[in-house]
Structure 1
């Protein structure tokens, strides 16, 4: 009888350790990593925009006339990056892309496969439509300069812009993120490391 009662607590401890091990393994497997990084090097989480103040997308129409809204644009508070939402279906950002992965190729070779880059030599994170069955987002860098984005309305930190299935938001610490809520694809830009999903 003593053997049964002393074995039960040991078995209970072993079961708890196994459960913790499974949880750690599962959590590690769920992390998404940037190009060139393993999941153990960088744990990415999609930002939660639920507490952000929603702004009227019509005020960000690129042609200045609210209501049209095929293309809506905003710039970051420092004016170094401009983001666009095209028809509420895809997004892109060009300019000074913080945390650009070192592995990002030079997009000047294949610029025509990316929508939303009308800024010449700017680096960006753009909607890659080269695979029409599985469009994704991809980084492209370029050594050239960008035009000033002074004519683009600024989205404030803690604000989000929602246009149909696209949500873009700016958070603390130079965070810029855009997510297509229908496809769950998008990108997160931050100085500590930017990534696409």
Structure 2
């Protein structure tokens, strides 16, 4: 006599486990939208697909569209300038909103990086001190920064995509950049800025 066991109960358990895992993963990485309030989206990675693409070639600081070694934009209020270098890393300098109090001071011998040619502005930069896992880090200082009036503005609700770097500007002072190959980046906002 042959006994048959039903695969349905095992499949049902596996489906419930898979759904539970998916819910827990997506719950930890909430994507925010351009119109979402700051209180609703603290420590959430923006949903870059909701931003309107801008032509990165129009943001070449030397006025040579198509070359694109360095792409720069300023935030709508003109207080922060961000740079995309070779489409491989991003940085922002200026009035970095929500900078953590724990951010170390700027060090000229360690933190000179493309995009920070304005001197010792506070910023968020690509930190390669751990060559196995380069990420982003904040740096602060006591000095001020010049206004970035010469840099083209990326409007709220827009994004720049240059190779593996995507940067977006949202409402309420949001600026965010991510390296899509490494999934490292930063989010700058009034309610608190952070790196990932």
- Structure 2 length as normaliser, TM-score? 0.78
Secondary structure at the residue paired with 2:49?
coil
Deviations 1:20-69 (A, max 9, x none): xx88xx57x9479xxxxxxxxx9621110212110000000121110110
* TM-align CA RMSD: 2.5
In our comparison, the structure showing a higher alpha carbon Rg is 1
Q: Does 1 or 2 have the higher relative contact order (CA < 8 Å, sep 6+)?
A: 2
Secondary structure at the residue paired with 2:178?
strand
8 Å CA contact retained: 1:84, 1:116: yes
> Any gaps of 5 or more consecutive residues in structure 2?
1-16, 31-40
2: CA distance, partners of 1:153 / 1:113: 23
Count residues with an aligned counterpart: 167
> Any gaps of 5 or more consecutive residues in structure 1?
1-18, 33-41
Residue 91 (str. 1) matches residue 90 (str. 2): yes
Secondary structure at the residue paired with 1:50?
helix
Q: How does 1:15-54 map to 2 (within 5 A)?
A: 26=24, 30=28, 44-54=43-53
Indicate how the Cα distance of structure 1 residues 55 and 152 shifts in structure 2: closer, same or farther if over 3 A, else same: same
1:108 deviates by 2.4
Secondary structure at the residue paired with 2:58?
helix
Residue of structure 2 in register with 1:133 after alignment? 132
8 Å CA contact retained: 2:124, 2:137: yes
Indicate how the Cα distance of structure 1 residues 156 and 174 shifts in structure 2: closer, same or farther if over 3 A, else same: same
Q: How does 1:159-178 map to 2 (within 5 A)?
A: 159-178=158-177
2: CA distance, partners of 1:58 / 1:112: 27
Deviations 1:59-83 (A, max 9, x none): 0012111011000000001100000
- Structure 1 length as normaliser, TM-score? 0.77
8 Å CA contact retained: 1:166, 1:180: yes
8 Å CA contact retained: 1:187, 1:195: yes
Indicate how the Cα distance of structure 1 residues 118 and 97 shifts in structure 2: closer, same or farther if over 3 A, else same: same
